[in-house]
Structure 1
Amino acid sequence: MSRTVPAVEPTLTDPAADDAFVRQWQLWHRAHQQALADPHGFLAVTGLHWLTERPERFADLPGRWHTGPGGVVVELADGERLTVDGQPVTGGHEFGPIAERGGVTVGIDGGVLEVARRGGHDILRPRRPENPLLTGFRGTPTYPPSTHWALTGRFLPYDSPRPTTVGAAVEGLQHVYDAPGQVEFIVDGRPLRLTAFNGRTPGSLFVLFTDATSGVTTYAANRALTIDPPDDQGRVTLDFNRATNLPCAYTDFATCPLPPAENRLPIAVEAGEKTPYERLA
């Protein structure tokens, strides 16, 4: 059972603090966009291949690939090679079992190849810096940063983590995450809650959500928000100015998770990243 604790009202800042708030957001946004434009990032992905037990060759990759209980295997023909851990590999290579949401990156001519596991399936995603999605990237539109959307909330932990199954950007695929609890907060006097998953760093959280802007000014399927670890009283900061798109907002070669049903907010979160220009064309 979760603890029932009153939500915390938003913390307001004075006008003098706004300039610093905006500058901090600008620095964060610039770094986030630079990471997105990495030569081997998601904008460089040129394909998505699903592996089976039947060896198969893909037009944009060297070798014949298959998977099974022992993991991913590639058989390389004469003249074909990969670079694994900085070393050239010819003939073939066994990658072994890959953990869910894990993966390895190997070198291929003109770029890199991600060998990964998503939703119980082994996949291949080549990434090449000359991909037009990357070379034509001009940044992501956002709402203007506002302290109105920097909210103080409270983390309500479950007695034990709850496995939570969510859909994916790829039809028929599912992801399972452990949810350690919910985050409670107030927007304009309205108490709201979001189911939270574990973040990338110890103690941190992340939430997937949609709201009344989804499919209007923001990407329809999902947005994400990272939350720093709760303090010793369970308080957290939800800065929706830093709500970001997932890779599926930019490319069809992503397997991004969708928000759990309870994370469909009944309000318009007019903060954070908007629908990418690439999806407006």
Structure 2
Amino acid sequence: MHAENTVSPSDASAAEVTKQVEQWKQGRLQRLTAPDGWLSLVGLEWLHPGANRVGSASDNDIVLKVGPAHLGVVTLAADGTAKIVLAKDSGATIDGKPAQEATLVDDIQAGENGHPTTIAFGAANFYVIERDGRKGLRVKDADAATRKHFLGLDYYPIDPSWRIVADWVPFDPPHKLEIGSVLGTIDKVDVPGKAVFKRDGHTFELLPYQEEPGGELFFVLADRTSGKETYGAARFLYAALPKDGKVILDFNRAYNPPCAFTEYATCPLAPPENRLDVAVTAGEKKYRGSEH
């Protein structure tokens, strides 16, 4: 969920807006379709306490769609530590190196700039993620059907009028906002302020949070196109940090969460506060290949 090229002058011309959005769209497509991008997801398997036998054979506790029949055993200790012992003939690597066993660093422990311990086998791999106290294996395969048969992204025509210079109203202290997820979990996030803007004679507000301290503003939003022309659960939008009391919302860069493309992602849902009573006819449309 990385953003790029979000900083631009508030008086950008239509031609500049179009050029920047086109560049952003190219980067968006590259990230999505990368060998380890969201289209490569083929599994999200939750670990149970104790030993979890992992592999593609049906007699495993966790049956993978890809890989050796018996890959190894992942043991989840009472303190939340996960360790793996690979089968002797698995052919798998741990962080790119031949090894027999390791403690598995999950995505939360790794942090924004680190990397979770990755177990690779052929064109596939997995690492541990933690969500709401549960730990699971996020399984990726560069040869996944969702990646090999990707149908492309559809967008509304770029509309410079949807690049909006909004007023920024800071909150001190930050407000709390509840963000639900497709898993049914609820996260409480800190909202540093709100973006306020006018459209069609009406005033609207959006509440962002930051995925990392000092990071860009991240908006999870829905609008009157949601569930019709655009993905129903939410769309994502990043914005550069406020400057001189203004924040730039370029809805031409509103895009679908990973859940629009795969059932194995854990996406946030648009909170009620960010459900706009207006049709945002800009940005990414619903994915043609979506079955959910």
Structure 2 counterparts to residues 135-214 of structure 1, below 5 A: 135-170=148-183, 172-199=184-211, 202-214=214-226
Corresponding residue SS for 2:98? strand
> Cα gap change, 1:79/1:134 in structure 2, threshold over 3 Å: closer, same or farther?
same
Q: Does structure 2 retain, via aligned residues, the 8 Å contact 1:205–1:229?
A: yes
Corresponding residue SS for 1:162? strand
| Distance in 2 of aligned mates of 1:114 and 1:74 | 11
Corresponding residue SS for 1:279? coil
Q: Does structure 2 retain, via aligned residues, the 8 Å contact 1:70–1:96?
A: no
Structure ranking higher on relative contact order (CA contacts 8 Å, 6+ apart): 1
> Cα gap change, 1:201/1:230 in structure 2, threshold over 3 Å: closer, same or farther?
same
| Distance in 2 of aligned mates of 1:73 and 1:148 | 52
Match of 2:256 in 1: 245
Give the stretch that moved more between structures: 174-183 or 140-149.
Answer: 174-183
Corresponding residue SS for 1:177? strand
- Deviation at residue 238 of structure 1 after TM alignment: 0.3
Match of 1:95 in 2: 104
- Deviation at residue 166 of structure 1 after TM alignment: 1.6
- Check if 1:273 corresponds to 2:269: no
Q: Which amino acid aligns with 1:217?
A: E
Q: Does structure 2 retain, via aligned residues, the 8 Å contact 1:45–1:128?
A: yes
Q: Which amino acid aligns with 1:40?
A: D
Q: Does structure 2 retain, via aligned residues, the 8 Å contact 1:72–1:95?
A: yes
- Check if 1:38 corresponds to 2:34: yes
- Out of 188, 210, 215, the residue aligned to residue 227 of structure 2 is 215
- Out of 55, 65, 77, the residue aligned to residue 74 of structure 2 is 65
Q: Does structure 1 retain, via aligned residues, the 8 Å contact 2:234–2:257?
A: yes
- Name stretches of at least 5 consecutive residues in structure 2 with no aligned partner: 1-9, 54-61
Alignment coverage as a number of residue pairs: 265
TM-align CA RMSD: 2.3
- Name stretches of at least 5 consecutive residues in structure 1 with no aligned partner: 1-10
- Check if 1:85 corresponds to 2:70: no
- Deviation at residue 236 of structure 1 after TM alignment: 0.7
Give the stretch that moved more between structures: 63-72 or 100-109.
Answer: 100-109
> Cα gap change, 1:96/1:20 in structure 2, threshold over 3 Å: closer, same or farther?
closer
| Distance in 2 of aligned mates of 1:193 and 1:105 | 40
- Check if 1:122 corresponds to 2:131: no
TM-score, structure 1 normalization: 0.86
